[in-house]
Amino acid sequence: MYDKVRFIEKGGEKQIEIKVVARRNSQAICSCCSRSAPRYDRLKERRFEFIPLWGYRVFLVYLMRRVQCSGCGIKVEEVPWARGKRELTDTYMQFLAYWAKKLSWQEVAVSFRTSWKKVFQAVEYIVQWGLRHRDLSGITAIGVDEIAWHKGHKYLTMVYQIDAGATRLIWMGKDRTVKTLLRFFRFFGRPRSQGIQYVCSDMWKPYIKVIKKKTVEALHILDRFHIVAKFNKAIDEVRALEYRQMKTEGYEPLLKHSRWCLLKRRERLAEKQEAKLSDLLRYNLRSVRAYLLKEDFNQLWEYVSPAWADKFLNRWTTRAMRSKIGPIKKVAKMVRRHQPLILNWFKAKKAFSSGVVEGLNNKAKVTTRNSYGFRTYHGVEIALYHALGNLPTPPMSHKFC
Ligand SMILES: [Zn+2]
């Protein structure tokens, strides 16, 4: 029961204090087994922080009791507004975690006059609750990708659900090895893994290996985004080499400022870039030939039938191999090696484009980049599940949105 409410002065700060008392003759509840038990004695008063009001911090003050439980012995009682030794009430933790999705954790701490550490504790509690109570049934499509972490020195493997209308982070693990992804499948379990029909990933060998082994029935789709990225890298290489070569041989610097004209899709070029490109196309440069091969490859995505896409790939790779341009030949070999997986994209009727995994992964990158303060893996894990896990929250009488 709520008793007296009053303003107090503490450490130069005005606070609101709400006294809470147990109903007379009420039995306390054992925090160990959640059964009611006779009272043993009283402990010191404890303060539990509640949602701030009008800019004042609010505390519930309660004299904790101990119980003499027949099963567990002498234990501290369980209270309905907080767990264990926590100083924050469940409601306040949910409140902080809610805002920590919209603002940086530091901003939340400042806005509600609390510390970064307490915001972390709140998010951690909500995430752990969410992970325990989430439903992982009915997942038929997953995307596997990686993000760099620790200033790019380390990697995290991310597994997303990418079913239509249900996208979220379902698992993450350290590194990007065979062992990492095997750990996911061990966690996910065999019955659920058998329900997976589509897997979308990049060309990272360890992933391909594990996916092949663990999702035999599923259609494995290579992510379009990652194929395009390989092209861009190849074009960059060709251009940089040719630029240097022309310079040392004393030619006009034709390729100066040409990087984006050659990388961007033609329809997205700005007027000035388009002019530069038209100019370049008049020369028989390796960079230009590589560019034309890349542009040509884009037609692939317009195909509907896997058989015709297959024919196109055969023609394209033959031409690319004859181009005598090293980096482009490398791409062609890569395409040949993964041709069946690329074609799966058409078999899946383009249902799972790179967009979904790309979008989730970008959000993950932003979260880790803004992760000022998350030095440990545990911290990053909590932040990522909070931002991307779409986790359920504990039932509350109050909604914050
Ligand atoms: Zn007990």
pLDDT at 295 over 60: yes
pLDDT at 397 over 80: no
Cα 36 to averaged position of ligand 1 atoms, centre (Å): 8
φ and ψ at 162, to 5 degrees?
-125, 30
Cα 48 to averaged position of ligand 1 atoms, centre (Å): 23
pLDDT tens string 242-290: 888 888 888 877 777 778 878 887 778 888 888 888 878 887 888 889 9
What 3-state DSSP class applies to 117?
Answer: helix
Which of 15-19, 259-263, 357-361, 371-375 has the highest average model confidence (pLDDT)?
15-19
pLDDT band at 206 (very low <50, low <70, confident <90, very high): very high
Strands 36-37 and 39-53: unpaired
pLDDT at 398: 63
Cα 40 to averaged position of ligand 1 atoms, centre (Å): 13
Cα 19 to averaged position of ligand 1 atoms, centre (Å): 26
Identify each DSSP E strand in 140-276 by its residue range.
141-149, 154-163, 166-174, 198-201, 219-222
Cα 178 to averaged position of ligand 1 atoms, centre (Å): 45
State how far the Cα of 351 lies from the Cα of 66, in Å rounded to an integer: 59
pLDDT at 400: 59
Task: Give CA 121 to chain center in angstroms.
Answer: 20
Cα 39 to averaged position of ligand 1 atoms, centre (Å): 12
Cα 34 to averaged position of ligand 1 atoms, centre (Å): 6
Residue with tokens 């100019």: 279
State how far the Cα of 37 lies from the Cα of 29, in Å rounded to an integer: 6
Cα 65 to averaged position of ligand 1 atoms, centre (Å): 14
Cα 66 to averaged position of ligand 1 atoms, centre (Å): 11
pLDDT band at 167 (very low <50, low <70, confident <90, very high): very high
Residues 137-143: what's their mean pLDDT?
Answer: 93
Say if CB 26 and CB 13 are below 8 A apart: no
Between residues 379 and 282, the one the model is more confident about: 379
φ and ψ at 285, to 5 degrees?
-100, 155
pLDDT band at 14 (very low <50, low <70, confident <90, very high): very high
pLDDT band at 223 (very low <50, low <70, confident <90, very high): confident
334: nearest Cα among 204, 189, 214: 204
pLDDT at 284: 80
Between residues 261 and 304, the one the model is more confident about: 304
Cα 2 to averaged position of ligand 1 atoms, centre (Å): 26
Cα 27 to averaged position of ligand 1 atoms, centre (Å): 13
102-111: long-range contacts, CB 8 A cutoff, minimum separation 24: 104/370, 104/372, 105/372, 105/373, 105/383, 106/372, 106/373
CA distances from 130 to 37, 174, 246, 258, 358 (A): 30, 21, 59, 49, 24
Cα 78 to averaged position of ligand 1 atoms, centre (Å): 10
State how far the Cα of 158 lies from the Cα of 146, in Å rounded to an integer: 6
pLDDT at 401 over 60: no
Average pLDDT of every residue of the chain? 89
Which of 103-107, 126-130, 240-244 has the highest average model confidence (pLDDT)?
126-130
Cα 43 to averaged position of ligand 1 atoms, centre (Å): 17
Q: Is the dihedral of CA 6, 11, 12, 13 positive or negative?
A: negative
